[in-house]
Amino acid sequence: MMETVHVGLEGRAYDIHIGPGLLAQAGALIGPVLARKQVCVVTDENVAALHLETLRAGLATDGISMEALVLPAGESTKSWAHLEQTVEWLLAQRVERRDLVVALGGGVIGDLTGFAAAILRRGVGFVQIPTSLLAQVDSSVGGKTGINSPLGKNLVGAFHQPKLVLADIDVLGTLTPRDFLAGYGEVVKYGLLGDAAFFEWLEKLGPKLAAGDVEARIAAVKRSCEMKAEIVMRDETEQGDRALLNLGHTFCHALEAATGYGDRLLHGEGVAVGCALAFELSARLGLCSQEDPSRVRQHLREMGMKVDLKDIDGDLPDADALLDLMGQDKKVVDGQLRFILARGIGNAFVTADVPRDVVHDLLVQELANR
């Protein structure tokens, strides 16, 4: 039942394996890319309690020994302090350049561990074992690694491709409904940015996917990874097309900063809200029909997700402050903010030709509706 997506980057190609029971098969899958039969695993407290011993047993079946560093769970772990802790621990474990570091966790652990691997001894290999839906379809694929700065999210990092990705569908069953749906925000994004047929499929099968249907989950993760892989192979370091993957993220990152990168707004929830706002902005600019943002919102609501600013608990800054936060976005070029907008569902594009007053008016109206 395992599916494989190949990321064909010259000299840095790797496979994404997707299916149930992959933690138990970790030794057989990771063994062929190991120089010696030992790995260092970085994970967090929540994931360790659920999956660390399953991974240890899976590696042991192939004679691979494992040491583990368990970090606190949460977005605040993507910090300078925890990066230093991780790097120093890996050095203390005598990790060599030919060794592999394993990231077992969601996007926070994957980003942090990948960045540590990128700078350790000027670059050691790493394996992504994403344990959240969001990480399986997005952050574990494509080689973006990094940590957050007080000035913004993911502002410090490096492009460093993994050697292998193992997306075990079984671990998704341990997610809370909220965490699963947060990841679903990234799944929907793929349909919205470049595959209208996939979005239609999600409209039909999204509820089954959320309810735990394994085949639907494998299909959704596979299609998402295929789309990301195709874009990454065209534009690895985000000079052009790869920015499409940030549909909804310009709004999302500003909202995450405004809410303190905490539990008030999970990243995938911000992506869903951001996608709805991006389609609303596109309609206001006459790029797509008004039916498109309505359809996006309807599907997100039917899935029980956050859709509008009014769905975010607590106070939010005013429109001017949110626009200032957008100005810290990594997609700013020559001081000009770039948006990912859409000419319709499945037809996104990157542009800097967005009047500030139209964005401002949209935010004012959305805030007034809270």
Active site residues: 122, 144, 186, 228, 238, 242, 246, 249, 253, 267
250 alpha-carbon distance from chain centroid: 14
Q: Which two tokens stand for residue 66?
A: 């494992």
| CA-atom Rg of the chain in angstroms | 20
Residue 292 corresponds to which amino acid?
Answer: D
Torsion of CA 50, 175, 24, 43, to 10 degrees: -50
Cβ atoms within 10 Å, residue 358: 12
240 alpha-carbon distance from chain centroid: 19
CA distance 77 to 28: 31
Answer yes or no: are the C-beta atoms of 231 and 242 closer than 8 Å: yes
Residue 196 corresponds to which amino acid?
Answer: A
Answer yes or no: are the C-beta atoms of 57 and 26 closer than 8 Å: no
* Close Cβ partners of 216 (under 8 Å, ≥ 6 residues apart): 205, 208, 209
Q: Exposed/middle/buried for 295, CB within 10 Å: 0-12, 13-18, 19+?
A: middle
CA distance 92 to 90: 5
Burial 227-260 (b: 16+ CB within 10 A, else e): bbbebbbeebebeebbbbbbbbbbbbbbbbbbbe
279 alpha-carbon distance from chain centroid: 20
* Close Cβ partners of 370 (under 8 Å, ≥ 6 residues apart): 309, 310, 316
Q: Which two tokens stand for residue 14?
A: 């790797």
CA distance 44 to 103: 10
Answer yes or no: are the C-beta atoms of 79 and 141 closer than 8 Å: no
DSSP assignment of 250-266: HHHHHHHHHTTTSTTS-
